[in-house]
Amino acid sequence: MTHPAASAEGVSKRFGATMALDGVDFAVAFGEIHAVVGENGAGKSTLIRILGGVHRPDRGVIRVGGEERDFASPRDAIAAGIVTIPQELRLVPTLSIAENIALGDLPVRRFGPLATIDRGRMREQARNVLAELDLAPDARAPVASLSFAERQLVAIAKALHRRCRIFILDEPTAALEKREIARLFSVLARMKGQGTAIIYISHRLDEVVAIADRCTVLRDGRVAAVAARGAFSVNDLVEAMTGRATREMLASPRPPGELLIEARPDGVTHVRMRKRELVGLAGLLGSGADRMIHTLFGATSELMVVEVRSNKHRLASPRDAIAAGIGMVPGERSLGLIMNQSVRDNILLPNLGAISRMGYLDRAAGDRIVAELMELVDIRPRQPDLKASALSGGNQQKVILAKWLARRVAVLLLDDPTQGIDVAAKAQIHALLADLVARGAGAMIYSSDLAELARLCDRVLAVRQGRITATLDRSAGIDEPKLRSAIGG
């Protein structure tokens, strides 16, 4: 009898009052890509953390190759051949690419009783594994110098370096473009052909349909469906995940208001945005489109001068941008939240002035603001004292939006805000953005999902090599092929 590569049998896990998993059965075979999908909070992350040794189940059994295992730590899971790449990357920014890939398995050169790190071999091993991803950076470069998408590829290379038998990928393509995704899929197909078991977590359901041999759908901590390749479509997965069909939101015409902000985000092109306008930035990986969002928030070394409501502001830091009425939702949620602080504290932090009374904080007023916003943006669970780190990715993103809604910013900047979140949470964030803009604010969004920009934006600015090279307006029609052509994709 052939045993599954890894399996969970009747696994349950509770965090306080929240039942994260309730009697879940799951198995992945060698030479199989098994996807796990579900809304944020459905239990996907908890399941893979149990398989990866981060959590222990309250009930149930984990087996690897048919043998029962009790992982006390991720090290135990790695020793059993299970390697996980989490959604929040675990890389050391100050170390080089080669050092990050080799960390935990450093090649050594021995001189009798003495041993030193063999840096030449370490760099060679890094170059070889990166070549499998068609990536050829300087292996000596620090990881901090890479973009988020490039860091994600380094994390994948690190797992490839371990030559694992069971490979868990949590949202691996969230910040990748089509070319990088195709490259990754090619690597996964090769690994599958070599007998590796692959557990694939993604909210990009079209990818799941394309790559998965089987798919398990989780809903509210339970298995809602299991289907084999060819037996499920994107619509089938959405209905199994949510219990209902979902519709994509299209931008409705909004009459633009008075001039809100003027700036030169690329240092050359003059960009104006009016009230009730949603402007997109589109560009390939490395184009600089995402950097423009950060520069407009004062979060880069470049000094940005902007006019907000006809008042000139010099943005040398995020503090300057916030004072000018500008907020930002970063691509990495850990940059927009204090993870070990509560939802309440995160929402109120940029808004303490609004609840200060004669030098004292009006805690009752703060509680009212937080309760109203948690209801408005549908943050789940409705536990304001819960740490931000305990929330799913989609709910963390809603907390970041809530703090800027509380501050009533004039301009909201968003850097790939829906990467790595499920279809229902994405639809909610799109609706919140539309409502924010309709109420008189302005928003500028960079997204690696060109279809998202085509659906949401009144205008899209195409970026190549750090310069705005074209503007596409909704009145002339915006679609994904036009955007891809404009950015050189």
Distance CA 325, CA 410 (A): 5
* pLDDT in the model for residue 160: 82
- Are 80 and 167 within 8 A, CB to CB? no
Pick from 256, 219, 259: which is nearest to 239 by CA?
219
CA distance 405 to 394: 17
CA of 19: how far to CAs of 246, 399, 484, in Å? 26, 22, 43
Nearest CA among 447, 440, 439, 389 for reference residue 413: 447
> Within 10 A of 332 (CB to CB), how many other CB atoms are there?
15
> What angle is formed at CA 432 by the lines to CA 431 and CA 435, rounded to 5 degrees?
85
Q: What is the pLDDT of residue 242?
A: 83
Q: Does domain 6-242 have CATH number 3.40.50.300?
A: yes
| One-letter amino acid for residue 267 of the chain | G
| Residue ranges matching CATH 3.40.50.300 in the chain | 6-242, 258-488
The pLDDT score that the predictor gives to residue 134 is 74
**Number of other residues whose CB lies within 10 A of the CB of residue 296:** 24
Low-confidence ranges of the chain (pLDDT < 70): 1, 244-252, 489
Q: Locate tokens 């909704």: which residue?
A: 474
For residue 50, give Cα distances in angstroms to 5, 60, 84, 241, 386.
15, 11, 11, 21, 21
CATH code of 258-488, in short, is: 3.40.50.300
Q: Residue 358 phi/psi, 5° resolution?
A: 55, 45
Sign, CA dihedral 304-309-311-317, equals: negative
Residue 170 CA to residue 38 CA, distance in Å, equals 12
On whether the CB atoms of residues 170 and 86 are closer than 8 A, the answer is yes
Give the pLDDT of residue 244: 64
Q: Which residues contact 489 (CB under 8 A, 6 or more apart)?
A: 177, 178, 179, 284, 450
Dist CA 489 CA 485 (whole Å): 6
Q: Tell me, what's the pLDDT at 354?
A: 86
Q: What is the pLDDT of residue 375?
A: 93
